[in-house]
Amino acid sequence: MVPLRPSTIICPVLVFSGVLWIYDVGHSQLYEVETAAILRAQKEAASPASASHIPDQTTAFRASPIVSAEALASGDDQGIVESNFSVVDSLRDSKVPENEINRAALESRYVDFFYGEMVDGGFAQFVGESEWDSQTVAMVRKGLVDLKAFRHLELFDDGAAIVAAIDPKELQQFINTPQPSSKDPVLRKLSLIDRQFFDLNDRESLVKLNAAWLRQQPNLIALSPEALRNELQGRGVYLPRRDKILAKS
């Protein structure tokens, strides 16, 4: 057997090593290019511009008040007002922010809340149940303006003046008392407008004004029970889904 010269052994090894080196360098460069492309894609996905493809449904949610078709067709004033109230509270219970709920629907709901408390227990009960929350008071007042229930608004402002004249500590104590005594001085003061309210409501029904205003909304939507359930479910669950999508982008 003829022994191989060192050059005969070394040359192929060098050639093979060179090929491996070229392959490794090329593969490394390709890997770097691919990695850079992936990183760029991730960066672009995280940018605000790329998130714009995610549909923002808040505009659609603000667009229209919704009531049941049955309530609208019945012609019953209390029915359509209660239907709107139910829809709005379903959305609120589903954690849909109030600024993403139709404004007319919200105002109608707050006015009906005020009306219900007045009928059930008078102005003192409204103050206690609402805790005289500034947002609630503002929404009731705005609703009365938009319903053109101006005499009711005047009486509501008379009640607000009574509240303002009560010592804040006494008012808070009254609000914190689950069942205040009929002899409670704060309750007696707040009840001063109750008779006026009922007399006024006999002449100008707040429910009728509320129902008429809802029917006047040009974008009012009336849905069947099944469609209403689907709509409420869709509007109620969209928000957490949207938050998850934005968090991943």
Of the two residues 57 and 52, the one the predictor is more confident about is 57
Q: Which tokens in the block code for residue 129? A: 């149940």
Q: Which tokens in the block code for residue 83? A: 């239907």
Q: Which residues make beta-bridge pairs with 66?
A: 221
- Give me the residue label for tokens 């080196």: 21
Segment 130-161, tens digit of pLDDT:
999 999 999 999 999 999 999 999 999 999 99
Distances from the Cα of 42 to the Cαs of 35, 39, 48, 50, 55, in angstroms? 11, 5, 12, 10, 20
68 in Cβ contact with 230 (< 8 Å): no
CA–CA dist 51, 26 (Å, integer): 35
| Cα diameter, the chain | 127
Residue 43 has pLDDT above 60, yes or no: no
CA–CA dist 96, 90 (Å, integer): 9
Residue 223 phi/psi, 5-degree rounding, is: -125, 150
Q: What's residue 103's pLDDT?
A: 95
Kindly tell me the burial class for residue 45, based on how many C-beta atoms sit within 10 Å of its own C-beta (0-12, 13-18, 19 or more). Answer: exposed
Identify residue 201 by its one-letter amino acid code.
N
What residue spans define the domains of the chain? 60-248
216, 220, 225, 228 alpha-carbon torsion, rounded to 10°? -150
| Weakest-pLDDT range from 60-74, 99-113, 135-149, 208-222 | 60-74
Of the two residues 31 and 69, the one the predictor is more confident about is 69
pTM higher than 0.85: no
Q: How confident is the model at residue 238 (pLDDT cuts 50, 70, 90)?
A: low
Sign of the torsion formed by the C-alpha atoms of 6, 7, 9 and 14: positive
Q: How confident is the model at residue 93 (pLDDT cuts 50, 70, 90)?
A: confident
| Weakest-pLDDT range from 53-57, 112-116, 142-146 | 53-57
